[in-house]
Chain A
């Protein structure tokens, strides 16, 4: 029984998004499709103890469709749902021989959930709910929202998709670029939500990183020739590879220069480097490829001293051209400070980040390396005043108190 339950839980994890994507295509209604798929999983718990089906995904899809048919039949007297019913019954008559008979429509699902007509936070939540199958309470916890608030947000999104004429489709080539950018940004934000660990529960944070990598893999397998999709996947793998070395036993952030690099996930690094190399060969570098390249330079250095800061500074020059934001400029200044000395780093610090903890932390570190102890102490204090994350607070205090 336990074995069966964990098998079903695994199916739910691995196949929820794929089955839901097909069902939404059939039913054209996010909520209805979700309800029917949930019903099918409940039926599985009930029926499978008597015999595990030969083709579990096909079984689930077929049962979900039959749930839809019987619900529509019950409602058919008072709605004009009859054409749907005929269409579904025709589908039901088709045998699903194996898992391979189920089309992969996840790209349609993610393009719809990440539609630019939806609020960016809604896009993330809806993607986690539909494609990753995360439960509403889990998503609410990840964003530190009340469960009811998150449920409302999701319900509103599903209604808007149904009523506002948001198509369940991958856009045509002319609309492809901004929409794909939205999809990649959502995946990136899901990862960051998990990686930065600024708020929320640790276990959910880890799940978010894994889910983001899973999504990036899915999109990459669906658009294998797009270099930015590959760039994103490489970036996530290379960053996630450093996770095991990012915190010490007391939960203090360990800066990159003090990482125990043997603890990095070298499998992820190898995979990320290979994917990035293939992507860069297409000669169309974009922001995700460049960020992955930055991560790759760190991954390839045997230790902090061996980091090719000159190379990093050059990549940041390109990145700041494509993404001219103060945060990118700040990271470029850090690279310059290591490549050519803290004075150049300080001279290149951007304006407008006075409310941003990392700005003061970076500045403090440059001042410390320049030997300007009292200025450095002030800068650490400013950074600490803006710190909301325990791991960072412990680290910054340690650095400040070590100043002589």
Chain B
């Protein structure tokens, strides 16, 4: 099934898109990065560490180059987490980690993409793709609700 590299089958479709000529608006997506902790705990300065960080830097570069990068950060491990809630006016705090699952939220990106396909394409480039899971969700556009 070597369909790749045979774009000559697509013009039939390109010709039909002429019926809708509206601008392609972009939308923002949040890519939540879940990964088993300890997976990539390489000693700073080691070749593994350098290689791993190099992948993240290359990704940041690629996202900025493509003009889709809005923001993104890595998190401290889940053992540093604190949960806060207010019940009956009383504030409660709980100490982490909250190990319901093996995979923990380790960081995020906000990406400005044409559509879900583009967001998925970049999410699949995040260096934890072999061990973890990326959840992609569109941000709610509040301006749309205000206009309504």
Chain A interfacial positions (CB closer than 8 Å to B): 22, 25-26, 28, 78-80, 83, 87, 91, 103-105, 107-108, 115, 117, 163-167, 169-177, 180-181, 222-223, 225-226, 228, 284, 286
Whether B115 and A26, one on each chain, are in contact in the complex, defined by CB atoms closer than 8 angstroms, is no
Further pairs besides A28-B20, A223-B9: 5, Cβ < 8 Å: A80-B147, A105-B19, A164-B137, A165-B119, A174-B4
Chain A residues whose C-beta falls within 8 Å of the C-beta of B137 in the assembled complex: 164
Once the chains bind, are A83 and B138 in contact (CB under 8 Å)?
A: no
Verify A176–B117 contact, CB threshold 8 A.
no
A83 to B20: give the CA distance in the assembly, Å: 12
Contact B2 A87 (CB under 8 A): no
Inter-chain contacts of B7 with A (CB < 8 A): 172-173
Q: A103-B19, A107-B13 are in contact. Are A176 and B138 (CB under 8 A)?
A: no
CB 8 Å contact bits of B11-22 with A (1 = contact, 0 = none): 011011111111
Specify the chain A residue showing the minimal Cβ separation from B8.
A225
What is the minimal beta-carbon distance from A162 to any residue of chain B, in angstroms? 10
B74 CB-CB contact with A under 8 Å: no
Instruction: Return A207 CB to nearest CB of chain B, in Å.
Output: 28
Q: A169 to B13: give the CA distance in the assembly, Å.
A: 9
B19 x A22 contact (CB < 8 A): yes
Q: B142 contacts the other chain (Cβ, under 8 Å)? A: no
Cross-chain contact of B13 among A22, A108, A177 (Cβ < 8 A):
A108
Residue pair B13, A167 in contact (C-beta under 8 Å): no
Chain B interface category by residue count: 20 to 34
* B18–chain A nearest beta-carbon distance, Å: 8
Task: Give bound CA distance, A120 to B117, whole Å.
Answer: 17
In the bound complex, do residue B138 and residue A284 qualify as a contact, i.e. CB atoms below 8 Å apart? Answer: no
> What is the CA–CA distance of A165 and B24 in the complex, to the nearest angstrom?
11
Query: Top 7 nearest A-B pairs by Cβ distance?
Result: A167-B115, A165-B116, A103-B16, A173-B7, A286-B1, A80-B147, A177-B3
Interface centre among A83, A115, A173 (most CB of B within 10 A): A173
- Residue B66, interface by CB 8 Å: no
Contact of B119 with A176 in the complex, beta carbons under 8 Å: no
- Name the interface residues of B111-144: CB closer than 8 Å to any CB of A: 113-117, 119-121, 137-138, 144
Bound together, the chains give a CA A58 to CA B9 distance in angstroms of: 27
Tell me if B10 and A170 are in contact (CB < 8 A).
Answer: yes
> Would you give 29 A-B contacts (Cβ < 8 Å), ordered by A?
A22-B19, A25-B20, A78-B148, A80-B144, A80-B147, A80-B148, A91-B19, A103-B16, A105-B16, A108-B13, A117-B120, A164-B137, A164-B138, A165-B27, A165-B115, A165-B119, A166-B115, A167-B115, A170-B10, A170-B13, A171-B117, A172-B7, A173-B3, A173-B6, A173-B10, A175-B117, A180-B3, A225-B9, A228-B3
A181: B residues at CB distance < 8 A: 1
Chain A residue at minimal CB-CB distance from B7: A173
Across the interface, name the chain B residue whose C-beta is closest to A108. B13
Kindly name the residue among B1, B113, B137 whose own CB sees the greatest number of chain A CB atoms within 10 A.
B1
Nearest-neighbour CB distance to chain A for B4, whole angstroms, equals: 6
Q: Mask for B49-68, Cβ within 8 A of A = 1, else 0?
A: 00000000000000000000
The minimal Cβ–Cβ distance linking A350 to chain B, given in whole angstroms, is 24
Q: B5 interface residue, CB < 8 Å from A? A: yes
Q: Please indicate the chain B residues that have their CB under 8 angstroms from the CB of A177 in the complex.
A: 1, 3-4
B29 located at the interface, meaning its Cβ lies under 8 Å from any Cβ of chain A in the complex:
yes
A6 to B15 Cα, complex, angstroms = 34
Residue from the set B9, B18, B138 with the largest chain A CB neighbour count within 10 Å: B9
In the complex, A107→B117 CA distance in Å? 17
Select A226's contact among B3, B16, B17, beta carbons within 8 Å: B3
Set of chain A residues within 8 Å of B1, measured between Cβ atoms: 177, 181, 228, 284, 286
Cross-interface CB contact of A167 among B4, B10, B19, B114, cutoff 8 Å: B114
Contact (Cβ within 8 A) B10 A165: no
CA distance A26 to B137 in the complex (A): 25
B116 near A164: Cβ-Cβ < 8 Å: yes
Which residues does chain A contribute within 8 Å of B138, judged by CB atoms?
Answer: 163-165
Inside 8 A of B119's CB, which chain A residues have their CB? Answer: 165
> B19 and A26: CB pair below 8 A?
yes
Give, as a whole number of angstroms, the nearest-CB distance from A164 to chain B.
5
- Measured CB to CB, the closest approach of chain B to A17, in angstroms, equals 14
Residues of B within 8 A of A78 (CB): 148
CA distance A83 to B12 in the complex (A): 27
CA–CA, A60 to B33, complex, Å? Answer: 47
The residue on A at minimum CB distance from B2 is A284
A78-B148, A174-B4, A176-B3 known; A165-B12 Cβ under 8 A: no
